[in-house]
Amino acid sequence: MLNRLLITGAAGGLARLIRGDLGHIATSLRLSDIAEPGDLPAGAQFVPCDLADAGAVDALVKGCDGILHLGGISTEQGFDAILNANLIGVRNLYEAARRHGHPRIFLASSNHVVGFYRQEERLGTDAPHKPDGWYGISKSYAEAVALMYFHKFGQETAMVRIGSCFAEPRDHRMLATWLAPEDFVSLTDRVFAAPRLGCPVIWGVSANDVSWWDNSGAGHLGWTPRRSSAEFAAKVAAAVPRPAPTDPVAIWQGGAFTQAPIIED
C-alpha cells in the first residue's frame, strides 16, 4: 500500500468517477487541480496547483510515493493551452518526481496518440504513433518524456492510453473504446501494486466485444478488465444514430478528433 497518492486533475470528469474508490491504494490521498474539486473523499487533502508552475508542482509532488496524473487539457484545443498544461506540465511533474524519490506514475495518455489508424486495424502496445491533433501529440510527447526518465533514471510509469472512460459509452465508437470506471480502478490498483512496472504502454479499455487494441505486451501486470460495453449496446443503438461507413467517425480510431480543425491561439 502506498503512503500518499497524488491525484492531479482531481476536479475533472474521470477523477470524479473514481476518486472515492481509491482509498485501498494509499493511506492518504493528495488531490490537486486548478479548479475546485467539490466534495472530497474522507481524509483527502486538496492542494490547488497549476501544472505549468514548476515550483508549485515540486512542492505538490514532495512527500508522495505514487502519482495518478490526470491533470491537463483533455480535448483538442489551441497550442498555447496544450503547451502550458500538457507539455510544460508534464516536464514539471517528471522533474519533481526526479527530485523526490521517483514515485511511480500512472500517466493518463490517450487513444488519440493513435487516432489515425483505421478502426479495422488491431494495434499492439508497440504500434507507431499516429496522433490526430495537438492534443494527441501532447500525449505522444508525455510518453516520450516517460520513456526518457525511465531509461535515464529508472523512473517507472504506466503509459495508459485511455479509450473513453465514462459511466457509460455514449455512441457507437465508444462501444469499442469504453473503459468502465471499475476497470480503471482495478488497473490503478495493479499499476501501484505490481512488484515490477517498468514503463509499459497499456490500453485502457474494458473487455468490450469489439476491440481495436491488444494488451498482451503489458501482460506482466496481470490486469484483466471485467466489464463490457455489450450491456449498453441496445441503449446506444436506440439513442444514437449509427454513422454512415463513410463518416470519418466510423473510419478512424480517433473518431471526431480526427476532424477537429487547428485552433489558432
Give me the active site residues, please.
135
User: Taking CB under 6 A as the rule, does residue 167 contact ligand 15L?
Assistant: no
What lies within 8 Å, CB to CB, of 165 at 6+ separation is: 14, 17, 178, 179, 180, 181, 184, 204
For 213, phi then psi, to 5°, come to: -130, 140
* C-beta closer to ligand 15L: residue 177 or 228: 177
Residues 6+ apart with CB under 8 A from 131: 112, 113, 114, 115, 116, 137, 139, 140
Q: Which does 177 bind (CB under 5 to 8 A by kind): ligand 15L, ligand NAI, none?
A: ligand 15L
Question: Applying CB under 6 A, does 177 fall inside the site for ligand 15L?
Answer: yes
Residues 240-259 interacting with ligand 15L (rule: CB under 6 A): 255
Q: Residue from 32, 111, 157, 206 that binds ligand 15L (CB under 6 A)?
A: 111
In the numeric block, the cell 449498453 is attached to: 232
Q: How far apart are CA 250 and CA 256, in angstroms?
A: 9
> x/- contact string, 17-56, with ligand NAI (CB under 6 A)?
----------------xxx--------------xxx----
Distances (CA, A) of 68 to 14, 32, 177, 191: 11, 10, 21, 10
Minimum distance of ligand 15L from residue 84's CB (angstroms): 17
Summarize as ranges the residues that interact with ligand NAI (CB under 6 A). Answer: 9, 11-15, 33-35, 50-52, 70-74, 84-85, 89, 108, 110, 162, 164-165
